Each structure stands twice: as structure tokens, then as C-alpha cells.
Chains A and B, each alone.
Chain A
């Protein structure tokens, strides 16, 4: 009892979770090196400027990270709804008036940067969900329909609009993050069972009425990529060739032929991990997956040690965000999942993704910073 009341003067530096910062920095450095290679091949002069741009975003990201770390995350409970509503407004705007890219409406042109509201929505959803779920009792059998109604509505509104954009990858990410958080907060087993059954029934309906042709193609292609090696299966096959051809030690920095000679599509965004695997081989690939695992373990430890339920849920939400992105992106690159346009946090090029990730991790850092009561 005495120990718990012991008060110690702690410096700013000591209160920071150094492990978290080091692992993020490590992934940043690897990300930058890898992005340099992906944007400086003999045929990629058109994307060379992206490296500098990413470097700037990283600086912005770290500023946000440090600011958020130093803020008491308790403020989030007060502004979560506001951020959510603002974001939802942006999503609705984008859905109807946004710029069209790759057949989907996704971003607002802010002049210096293309803002993707669906990307920041992920973080807004995490904050609002953490707030709502923290008020629910996690004892007993778990949440029933009544307790689930509000978080479900919070999830389904942006989900619906993002599906409409149509950006199925982001929509799935929203569902995965929100769903994971609700399951973490505990749901009645009956409801989970019912939901699973409903999903199975809904699948063929969704196939017929909801999915666009290109989305169906991606799934079909995933099931048999050799059907159309020059068409929809091209990305998947070239990515697997890139990863596999790296063998144990890789082809070396700037020497990945698949990426340098543009056989890999979207190599600086969605397929950034192929570039890494090709140039740095099994060793580099495992190292990055290992760093992500270390990040998750650090995050879980922070959640365990958090000073309150909201902090724990917030940390869990951000971890789910990073985890699902990593899982779907790498799974896709190495041919375990269909092609979905999801970036790899901290490694893929992209301002929205970098900002969201760094802000989210800033929240985790903030939870860690405030794990001590005094």
C-alpha cells in the first residue's frame, strides 16, 4: 500500500515509452530507405519527388505525435464526438463531390495535399468508440443489443458512405477496427453467433448487389491468379515474383528489378512491402514483420498499464488500426489475401495515412506517458 502511494519525481524523458518511440523510428527509417529505392529507379523520375514529400509528412507526423503525447488524452473524451462529426461531414462531402481516383471518390484537393477523410475517419471512430465503450460495463456476459446500438450506429454510418464511394478496402478497415474494439469490450456470445450467421447469409447477397465488378474480379483473381496473368491477376503475380525473387538476402538496395523496372504496380504505396522483400529478402521481410510484432507487444503492455479503461480502449483501437492494415497489406502482397487498396502503416507513401498513424500512435504514447497517477 505504501509503495503505491510512493511519489517520485519523473522527468519528461523517463515518462515517455522509449520502446514505442524506438520501434516507430526504426520502421520510419526502414520506410524512408525503402521508399527512396521505390522512387529512384532508372524509370521512375516521375515519382522521385514523392520521397521528399514523404520526408516532410514524416516531420509533420512526429510533431503531431509529440504534441498528442504531451496532451492528456482525457481531452479526447470531450472532443471525440466533434472530430467524428466533422470527419463524417467530410466523408459525406467526398462521397458526392470528391475527386475520383481509380473509379472511387476518395479525396479532397486541398492544394498542398490530397486529404482522404476516410483515412482520418478511422482514428475518429477509434476515439468515439473508446469513449462509448469505456462507459459500458465489461463484466458479466457482455454487451447486449441495447448497449451495442450506439457504437454500431457510429460504425455503420461512415461505413455505409465509404462503401458508397466505393472504397471497399477502407470500409473493411473501419468495420475491422470497430468490430475488434467491440469484441474486445465484450459482446454477448449469442449476438456474435447471430452476426456470423447473418454474414454468411449476406455474403451471396452482397456479391450480387453490393460489390462492383472490379471488386468481384479481385476476389476471383485471388482465388486463381493465373486465369488472367496480364489483366487483373497481374499485380498479384508480379508481387509474388518480386517477394520470392528476393530469396534469403535480397537483391540489394536499389537493385530490385521488379520494382525498379516498374513490373510492380503501385510500388511506392500499396506494394511497398514487395519492394522491401525483393531488395532485402527473407531477412528484411521478417525484420519488418518482427518490428510490427514488437510494436504490438509494446502497445499491449501500454494498454495493460494504462491508468483507465478509456486509455486501454484507445490503445487497443490504435493497435487494431495498425494491425489490420499490416495484416491485410502484407497478406495481399505475399498472396495470402485478395488485392485490396490498403496502405502499410509507416512504410507506404501517403500523407493521410502517415498523419493518422502518427497521431494514433501519439495517443498510445500519451496513454503510456500518463500511466502513472502522479
Chain B
């Protein structure tokens, strides 16, 4: 039966071969043990970390940005809850069908959606989330929620939408927020080194105070840790700690609130007044201590559109608009001040004793300098006038003579000190300085010697002189306060969510011109009083260029002006302004403060392409100042109204032919 037992030789031979078995088994055991030791003991901690990374995904919880409040605590910028649609490429099963089903709901073209996903996948990897659309409507949320079950990769998330209740009003001041661009990430991380970290998908302030206050109003984002399975679905386990310690979510911390010096009531009046007059341009109203009350730049845009993802057509409309809605014209546009420059020249001439308040100067209709005629806007001229009438009626010839007598460098010494040609240092980016020329400046900038004829154009605020509305407000405020050059500011304080003050700004006087300045110049109180009287007459005198816009009980003092947009010959300047195409019309200026003797508020308005300062800009300034007094000093207005009604003065017709 058995061949094995009966053959001892074969048995011996097989016995030897079993040794091979022992060797192979021993070797396998050794190799496997070593490998397991390497994986589980030596690399164990590292691989455990990998397995944790596999299952725990971090989701950023965006911290709400701080609010912006006005000086009374009224909301200027706030946050609203919203929903956004998110895609994660890794979990998408069929991009084509997803694009075809989701695209139409969100109003996106399927092809564009596919491109977007593929691009993001290439650039940021398959796990990087793509924000398809923000601020979904109720219906969109409802329809997407029903789809989400059989559309892996699609997610509807609660989000925070930045809301600007004033919409277009003050958009350039408050700024807007939108998603950080790839290019900005390293730049901002470098700028805020260590203090803040920016990454893809972050919503940041892109302009205005949103940008400037980034560090204060941006909160600290939180992180939520969720457990996911291999398909990216959230895996809910029977007990929360079944897989060991659950990592605690990091709660986001709300950004700090900013209390501004802005007065929402006055801000709204300013914007309404601009809209009612159908004007484009800029206006700034500030208290005489530098607190900005209102700030408008038009045409404007609705920053809410940026917060919810601006459409390309809206964007291209904004950047191609010839009247520059995105530009903050209060600080970013400089124009010739025109006649609003004359009070500065008067101040220099009085202080330099070129004239005294009683000096009578002959101001004919035409003035010859060399062989060239320089015209006044009044064909017949103003006759023999003092500085008061010169300001009230805005005589050009009077100021030509002052310009010649002073020379540009003397004018510069005084006017530069008023802040003209300098940045005011307000807390906003991209402020331009404007230009206050002198002979050295021209040599450096233009490369030519100063021509004596240029003293004439400079003296009436044309030529090389360029000013921003904010610098005009500062300069007029200096005259009104008789020498106090203030630093304008908007951010009153930054407070945390409990109301604790973290940072506070106070009014600041940069220099007092009644004191002798480093260049040896000072301006006496008498000089200021003389100029102020001239400016008071502009708004109140019988022949004042702004006499039609009065406020009951309050006297304004100011000056109108016209800035030439393009170089017309002298006789063309004042002809048919209204009949030209709008972009060729002159800009109108009106800068004023009130009350005329001891100002509380200063307003500078630039009405672009409005032809005249008196009709274009003065009504806006009047509305703002009136609103200020009605809010803060209603008794003065009431008293004024009573006094006016008693003798029943008849309404004066509005005359548009003004002299500037």
C-alpha cells in the first residue's frame, strides 16, 4: 500500500527538503515582522497622522467683519446672513451633467462652469473649494438643496454677506469687499506680516475704509473639523468620540466695529442734494476740528454688487464710465480751483501789505499785461474796488494785479501753508496732493523758467494750480478758524464687540498760521478777518456770487469758482457753457463754512461739468450746512425763520448769470 514507508532512501531525501520549508517560513516571518515593525512602530506616528488627515477635513468658518457706525451709532456698513453655492472638484462624479443641471439654476453657462472647475482643479488642486455663487436667492437655495442629494461635490453653505444700507451713497468712502485675488495673497501677507494671514477664498476690503480698516474690522476666521469618508461625505458616527479625541472647533471671532465721524443724516442729505441737482462730482463736509461729516463722490456704484459677486457687464460698465464712478473724487481728483483760489491770494496780498483793507484798486474790463489782453468776466469791469468787493464779485483784474505784485513764490509761501498742494493725511489710500506751483517747482517739473504772465493765471486759480476737494475744505477751514490747519479724519474710534475702545482718534491741529511758520510766514488775525468778511459778502452781499442760497438764521461765508476743463481762448470761456457737450463744460466749485464769524462746519463741493459754481455747487453746500444746523442747532434756524417771516421778504428770482 505504501511506497513511502517501505522506501527508507526516499524518506531520507524528503526529510532534507522539509528543511527548505523551515527556511522559507522562517525568512517570511522575519521579513514580515521587520516590515511590520518598520510600518507600525518606526513610521507609526507619521502614518497615523496621514490617516487622521484622510478623515478630518478643515472647513474655514469665516469671521464676520466689523460694522461701520456713524457718529450717532447708526449703521453704515453691516453684515447679512446669506447662502452660497460651493463645489469641490474631487467629489464631482460627472462634471458635464452637473454643469447642465446646476448652471441654469444659478444663471451660469454650463461651458463656463466646466471651464471654471477645470481651471481651479488645475491651479488649486481637486480639494480646493470653488465658490460658484454668493448670496443665493431663496428659490436658488431651494432648488439646489433638492439637487444636492444626487449631486456629490455640491454644497450649500451659510455665508455672511456684506451689506451697505446706503447703497451708492458714499460707496467710494466705505469701499467694497470681494474675494482676494491670487496676486494679492503674497502682497497682503507681506504687508500684514504675522498680524493677519490671507489665503485663497478670503473676502477682503478692496477700497475705501474697507481696505484701510482691514486690520481692525477683519475678524479671526474659525475652523470646523469634520470627519469625512473617502468620498468626501461627512461621516457621522454613532458616538462622537468613536475614533478617538474629536478636535474642538475653533470659534471665529467677530471683527471690531469702527465708529466713524460721518453723520448718516447729513451724508444722506448730501447725496440726495447731488442726485436732485443731477450733478456729478464730489463733496466733503467736515466739522471745523477736522471730523468728516459727509463724503460723496458721484456718479457712484452699489458696493452690494461686489459683495455678492459682480457681473462682468456691470464691472466693465463701471470701469468704462467716462465719469469714473469708482474714483473717490474727494481725494483722488484734482482740478483747477478757479476763483475759489482768490481768498488765498487776498490773504497773501493783505499780509504782505500789497494792499490794506481800504486800498482801492482799479479793475477795468480788460487788463493788458505786456501786449496781451486779460479779460474780466464783466465786460465793463468792476471799477475801483477794495478787496471786499473784489471777493464778493470775484473780480479777475483785481487779482491779476495782486498776482503780479506778489509773484508766484510769495503766493506759494502763504498758500502752501494752507495745505494746498499737500496731502491732508486722511486715513484713506491713494490720496493725491494736487499742485501749488512755484518757480522752483516749474523748473523741476516742466523744465522751464517761470513766466511773469503765469502769475496772472495762478492768481485766479488757473494754470498750474490743482486742488482736491478735501484740500480746499482744509484751506477754507483754516481761514474760517483764523489760522488752524487741521488734519481731517473719519475714523473716530475702533471698538470691540463689547464696546471696549481699542483705538481712538482725536482732532488734531497741524499748525496755527498766526504763529510764525518755519518759512518765516505768519498770518495775522486782522488779515483773516478781512478775507472772511469778503467771503461773507460772497454769500450775503448784494452782488455776492452766491447770494441766492441762504440759510435762515445762519450766515455762510465762502467762494464760488469755475475750473476750466479745457483750454479755451479768453472770449470762449464764458460763452455758451451750457450748450457744449457735457464733458466739455466747466467744473463749478463752491467752498464755504458757517457760521461766517466762527465756523462749525466747512463744506467743499465740486460740481463737475456744471458750468458754474453758484448754480452747480452752491445749492448742495447750502443743503448740507442747513441740514447740519437743523440737526445740531434747530433753535438758530427757528429764530431765523421767525425773523424772516416777520417782514415777509419776497422771494428773489434765481439768476444764473454769475460773475466769477
- The answer to whether the Cβ of B368 comes within 8 Å of any Cβ in the partner chain is no
- Minimum distance in angstroms from A117 CB to a CB of chain B: 29
Query: What separation, in Å, do the CA atoms of A170 and B30 have in the docked complex?
Result: 26
Residues of B within 8 A of A243 (CB): 36, 39-40, 47
Stretch from A10-18, A92-100, A253-261, A343-351 forming part of the interface with B: A253-261
Query: Given A248-B44, A286-B33, A312-B4, is A42 in contact with B237 using a C-beta cutoff of 8 Å?
Result: yes
Which residue from A257, A308, A309 sits with its C-beta under 8 Å from B51?
A257
- Minimum distance in angstroms from A310 CB to a CB of chain B: 8
Contact A285 B238 (CB under 8 A): no
B interface residue count range (under 10 / 10 to 19 / 20 to 34 / 35 or more): 35 or more
- The answer to whether the Cβ of B200 comes within 8 Å of any Cβ in the partner chain is no
Contact A311 B4 (CB under 8 A): yes
Query: What separation, in Å, do the CA atoms of A306 and B126 have in the docked complex?
Result: 61
Chain A residue nearest to B28 (CB atoms) is A327
Query: What separation, in Å, do the CA atoms of A336 and B33 have in the docked complex?
Result: 12
Query: What separation, in Å, do the CA atoms of A184 and B238 have in the docked complex?
Result: 53
- The answer to whether the Cβ of B17 comes within 8 Å of any Cβ in the partner chain is yes
Chain A residue nearest to B49 (CB atoms) is A245
Stretch from B18-26, B274-282, B428-436 forming part of the interface with A: B18-26
Query: Given A43-B235, A285-B40, A335-B39, is A245 in contact with B3 using a C-beta cutoff of 8 Å?
Result: no
- Minimum distance in angstroms from B168 CB to a CB of chain A: 48
Which residue from B3, B22, B235, B242 sits with its C-beta under 8 Å from A308?
B3
Stretch from A25-33, A218-226, A292-300 forming part of the interface with B: A292-300
Residues of B within 8 A of A309 (CB): 3-4, 10, 14
Could you give 21 example pairs across A and B, Cβ below 8 Å? A138-B10, A138-B13, A184-B17, A241-B50, A244-B46, A244-B47, A245-B44, A247-B45, A254-B242, A255-B243, A258-B51, A261-B55, A261-B230, A293-B29, A296-B21, A296-B25, A297-B25, A300-B18, A312-B14, A373-B2, A373-B5
Residues of B within 8 A of A281 (CB): 40
Query: What separation, in Å, do the CA atoms of A243 and B15 have in the docked complex?
Result: 37
Query: What separation, in Å, do the CA atoms of A134 and B227 have in the docked complex?
Result: 59
Contact A306 B4 (CB under 8 A): yes
Residues 297 to 351 of chain A near chain B (Cβ within 8 Å): 297, 300, 303-304, 306-312, 319, 323, 327, 330-331, 334-336
Contact B55 A334 (CB under 8 A): no
Contact B231 A247 (CB under 8 A): no
- The answer to whether the Cβ of A122 comes within 8 Å of any Cβ in the partner chain is no
Residues of B within 8 A of A277 (CB): 36, 40
Query: What separation, in Å, do the CA atoms of A293 and B32 have in the docked complex?
Result: 11
Residue interface bits B390-426, CB-to-A below 8 A is 1, else 0: 0000000000000000000000000000000000000
Contact B9 A245 (CB under 8 A): no
Residues of B within 8 A of A373 (CB): 2, 5
Which residue from A242, A282, A297 sits with its C-beta under 8 Å from B37?
A282
- The answer to whether the Cβ of B189 comes within 8 Å of any Cβ in the partner chain is no
Query: Given A244-B44, A306-B4, is A139 in contact with B10 using a C-beta cutoff of 8 Å?
Result: yes
Residues of A within 8 A of B236 (CB): 42
Which residue from A139, A261, A293, A306 sits with its C-beta under 8 Å from B25?
A293
- Told that A258-B54, A308-B4, A334-B32 touch, could you supply 14 new A-B pairs with CB distance under 8 A? A42-B236, A243-B39, A244-B40, A244-B43, A244-B44, A245-B47, A245-B48, A251-B243, A255-B243, A261-B54, A262-B229, A296-B21, A309-B4, A327-B28
Query: What separation, in Å, do the CA atoms of A261 and B52 have in the docked complex?
Result: 11
Contact B54 A241 (CB under 8 A): yes
- The answer to whether the Cβ of A79 comes within 8 Å of any Cβ in the partner chain is no
Chain B residue nearest to A135 (CB atoms) is B3
Query: What separation, in Å, do the CA atoms of A240 and B21 have in the docked complex?
Result: 28
Query: Given A261-B230, A309-B4, is A289 in contact with B33 using a C-beta cutoff of 8 Å?
Result: yes
- Minimum distance in angstroms from A37 CB to a CB of chain B: 12
Residues 252 to 272 of chain A near chain B (Cβ within 8 Å): 254-255, 257-258, 260-263
Residues of A within 8 A of B570 (CB): none
- The answer to whether the Cβ of B108 comes within 8 Å of any Cβ in the partner chain is no
Query: What separation, in Å, do the CA atoms of A118 and B54 have in the docked complex?
Result: 36
- Minimum distance in angstroms from A253 CB to a CB of chain B: 11
Contact B14 A300 (CB under 8 A): no
Residues of A within 8 A of B235 (CB): 42-43, 261
Query: What separation, in Å, do the CA atoms of A285 and B1 have in the docked complex?
Result: 43
Which residue from A137, A247, A263, A307 sits with its C-beta under 8 Å from B40?
A247
- The answer to whether the Cβ of B228 comes within 8 Å of any Cβ in the partner chain is yes
Residue interface bits A215-242, CB-to-B below 8 A is 1, else 0: 0000000000000001000000010111
Query: Given A261-B54, A296-B21, A309-B10, is A240 in contact with B36 using a C-beta cutoff of 8 Å?
Result: no
Top 4 A-B pairs, shortest CB-CB distance: A244-B47, A247-B44, A245-B51, A261-B229
Query: What separation, in Å, do the CA atoms of A184 and B19 have in the docked complex?
Result: 11
Residues of B within 8 A of A311 (CB): 4
Residues of B within 8 A of A296 (CB): 21, 25
Query: What separation, in Å, do the CA atoms of A248 and B103 have in the docked complex?
Result: 51
Residues of A within 8 A of B15 (CB): 304
Query: What separation, in Å, do the CA atoms of A282 and B44 have in the docked complex?
Result: 10
- Minimum distance in angstroms from B229 CB to a CB of chain A: 4
